[in-house]
Amino acid sequence: MINPKKLIEMARKWRKVAPSKRNISFSRLNGTGDETVEQGRNSVAHKGHFVVYTLDSRRFVVPLEWLSSNIFRDLFRMSEEEFGLPTDGPIMLPCDSVFLEYVVLLF
């Protein structure tokens, strides 16, 4: 498994190198067959899940148990440093959807 600090470094490098308008997307299924990466317009997450957005405005619905992982903790810490704490808006992560899809593959 990849070290969370190395993964965060990769995210920072990716943001500098990645083209801003291009988007590669694919859906990821978890073990139960439910879609982990959800692109629906429903504003309420399912029970046991939370919603985050990436820099390219993709919506991800992920399980609450992932909050305890070091990768998500570091992403939230970076988000707080870059954007501050949201009061009324969505949680925005400082990475693009391709990087977050890669993180989802690690779980």
| Average confidence (pLDDT) per 10 residues, the chain, 107 residues | 70 61 43 46 77 90 89 89 80 88 85
| 31 inside domain | no
Q: What is the pLDDT of residue 58?
A: 92
Q: What is the pLDDT of residue 17?
A: 54
| 36 inside domain | no
Q: Which residue has the tokens 């991800």?
A: 60
- Which residues touch 9 (CB under 8 Å, ≥6 apart)? none
Domain count, the chain: 1
Of 55, 58, 66, 56, give the one whose Cα is nearest residue 104: 66
Q: What is the pLDDT of residue 103?
A: 86
Q: What is the pLDDT of residue 21?
A: 44
Of 69, 70, 76, give the one whose Cα is nearest residue 92: 76
| 28 inside domain | no
| 52 inside domain | yes
Q: Which domain holds residue 1?
A: 1-6+46-107
